[in-house]
Structure 1
Amino acid sequence: MNMDVAQSGLFPLQRCKIVHLLRHAQGIHNVEGEKDHSAYMSPEFFDAHLTPLGWNQVDNLRKQVKACGLSGKIELVITSPLLRTMQTAVGVFGGESCTDGVNIPPLMVENTGHSGRPAISSLNCPPFLAVERCRERLVENDEDVLWKADVREANEEIAARGVKFIDWLWTRKEKEIAIVSHSAFLFYTLQAFGGDCHPIVKEEISRYFGNCELRSMVLVDRSLLGSETSSCNYPGKISHADEKLARKEKTYLN
């Protein structure tokens, strides 16, 4: 394929989804890991919470998604079940702070993860779903389906898990989905895509995510994994029965 020639393509809208990929904001493990990379392997930081800087990153991104209208388009937020991703997901896409007199269950209670933050409401926001398959590779719970004794998940295993997760998205009816996950999961999953694109596009797809970085992509169903039909396609003609009925009505009116 000549990558210097425009390679435009078309694809049926009903076989596409828009996914907004987001890495969690800065966690306490990121701070310690920058000092000593081995800290990432410490059980102490397995379920790290966000730092004050991480919460500032969340607040800034929340303003951005509201300003650009994205917050009103997202139909579902999927998050890793770890604390730092759930804090990021709720902080960015959740409702406003809870107020007295409004009897709505909170998405996040006050001071979750020693955050010092007020509770966040579930009012006027999309549904949230914590999914094990998009979590970080460091797993220590022996009841976890992804756990292996004394074995850290290999990069190839992360990629395979990520591809299965992407395929699973086609079982969902939502067309525009936010996914909040981790650097390794996002990086190695996206490495599996873009091989048929220009190298610059491939790099745009698979480059490393910074803390609280959001990137939006179109997901295409090339293998009919989904079974969606278009809600806006129109055949442009009436049926034979409708045509006969129209003739009868015309005769009656005459």
Structure 2
Amino acid sequence: MDARFLYPLESCKIIHLLRHGEAEHNVAAKKDRSALLSPHLFDAPLTDHGNQQVENLREQLETSGLLKRIELVVTSPLFRTMQTAVGVFGKESKQARMTSSPPIVALEVARDRNGVRPPDMRRNVSEYQTLFPTVDFSQIESEEDNLWRPDVRESEEEILARGLEFMKWLWKRPEKEVAVVSHGIVLQHMMYVFANDCDDSTRNELFKRFVNCEIRTVVIVDKGSLISSTAEN
């Protein structure tokens, strides 16, 4: 056994990072990247294949028992991510014949890279509330999308700052096991926050590009609390 680290459980959180299922803009972009500028792909939904990916993952998590352990689901407030979040974590379990659904909270900091591309622009909150009645939108401040800009694409530095903001928010939550449903580039930048704490082999494995409906699990540790605890003793 090669155990390099030992941390108390109360100083750790288990985070399950999930990229949304295949969406219409993903398919269009494989054929022609310029399609991402099409207004017809505004807030792109999942494809039929994407919905099947979601259903398959739901069954996988039910079988593994992971679904019952999730205490909170945080989702990007875009159509494709909320379809994925509700489809995987929020619907009735066919096996247990009972509802197994943790709270699902929508957060702006978990959304896709902002600006220029219509697939990354969200709808009004009131419309989403009708479409996704089980999602909590109380953390979103504005009815309309005030973040998406038609002529400016969000920089990677800004995405990284969002990742740091999100991790700070997440750490203040009481839940110990959380699922995050977001977008490939955003999930990568969330993990970049901890890049200096990983060796090269771990970094290469964890930070590679997410495929659609891929779930990746990490454990984050509050080293600050460990230092404080050691100093007190």
SS at match of 2:224: coil
Contact 1:95/1:125, CA 8 A, preserved across alignment: yes
Which residue identity lines up with residue 170 of structure 2 in the other structure?
L
Matched, 1:215 2:216: yes
Q: TM-score normalised to the size of structure 1? A: 0.71
Q: Deviations over 1:14-67 (max 9, x none)?
A: 111000000000000001010111222333323111101001111111111011
Contact 1:24/1:211, CA 8 A, preserved across alignment: yes
**Following the alignment from structure 1 to structure 2, what is the Cα–Cα distance between the partners of residues 197 and 78?**
24
User: Residue 175 of structure 1: CA displacement?
Assistant: 0.6
Structure 1's consecutive aligned runs of 4 or more residues displaced over 4 angstroms after TM superposition are 139-143
Gaps in structure 1 of 5+ consecutive residues: 1-5, 99-121, 230-254
Matched, 1:17 2:16: no
Matched, 1:128 2:104: yes
Q: Which residue is 1:36 aligned to?
A: 32
Q: CA 1:170–1:203 in 2, change beyond 3 Å: closer, same or farther?
A: same
Which residue identity lines up with residue 191 of structure 1 in the other structure?
Y
Q: Which residue is 1:170 aligned to?
A: 171
Q: Which residue is 2:183 aligned to?
A: 182
Larger helix proportion of the pair: 2
**Following the alignment from structure 1 to structure 2, what is the Cα–Cα distance between the partners of residues 174 and 93?**
16
Greater Rg by CA: 1
**Following the alignment from structure 2 to structure 1, what is the Cα–Cα distance between the partners of residues 146 and 13?**
28
Matched, 1:137 2:113: yes
Q: TM-score normalised to the size of structure 2? A: 0.77
Matched, 1:58 2:34: no
Q: CA 1:89–1:43 in 2, change beyond 3 Å: closer, same or farther?
A: same
Gaps in structure 2 of 5+ consecutive residues: 116-120, 123-141
**Following the alignment from structure 1 to structure 2, what is the Cα–Cα distance between the partners of residues 42 and 137?**
16
User: Residue 148 of structure 1: CA displacement?
Assistant: 4.3
* Equivalent residue pairs, number: 200
SS at match of 2:49: helix
Q: Which residue is 2:70 aligned to?
A: 74
**Following the alignment from structure 2 to structure 1, what is the Cα–Cα distance between the partners of residues 23 and 155?**
23
